[in-house]
Amino acid sequence: MAVDKNMHILVVDDYQTMIRIIRNLLKQLGFNNVDEATDGKAALEKISAKSYGLIISDWNMEPMTGLDLLKSIRGGGSKVPFIMVTAESKTENVLAAREAGVNNYIVKPFNADTLKTKLSSVLGEF
């Protein structure tokens, strides 16, 4: 099934620079409907108001981390694809994210090719 490039994507990061980087890279890949949130709590408010086809989230944010956001989403029964983009690359972090139901994991710093590869693995080839 073809990937719907009109899907709404939510990018969650407390660094505006990173949000802009991901937003611009997504735009280059043809995804233009990108919303943003600066922590897990703000993301949950967005998710409750709109249906998203993908969530791309940082880990370290306050007051709610990306991992807690993921747990909350999965706890609510949602299977929305979730990619963690983080500098937290220790094995225990990856395993905790996996346990919580992450679909893929990108280590910062990353490049456009890595983002495209991970999107393909989660959404399908596009």
State which of residues 4, 6, 16, 75 lies at the interface with another protein (CB under 8 A): 16
Q: Does 30 bind another protein (CB under 8 A)?
A: no
Q: Does 63 bind another protein (CB under 8 A)?
A: no
Q: Does 79 bind another protein (CB under 8 A)?
A: no
Closest to another protein by CB, 31 or 105: 105
**In contact, 52 and 80? CB cutoff 8 Å:** yes
State which of residues 7, 25, 80, 122 lies at the interface with another protein (CB under 8 A): 25
Alpha-carbon distance 22 to 32, whole Å? 11
**In contact, 104 and 118? CB cutoff 8 Å:** yes
Alpha-carbon distance 57 to 124, whole Å? 19
For the chain, how are helix, strand and coil distributed in percent, rounded to 5? 45, 15, 40
Alpha-carbon distance 118 to 115, whole Å? 5
State which of residues 28, 32, 50, 126 lies at the interface with another protein (CB under 8 A): 28
Q: Does 6 bind another protein (CB under 8 A)?
A: no
Q: Which residues is 10 bridged to in the sheet?
A: 35, 55
Closest to another protein by CB, 51 or 90: 90
Q: Does 104 bind another protein (CB under 8 A)?
A: yes
Q: Does 46 bind another protein (CB under 8 A)?
A: no
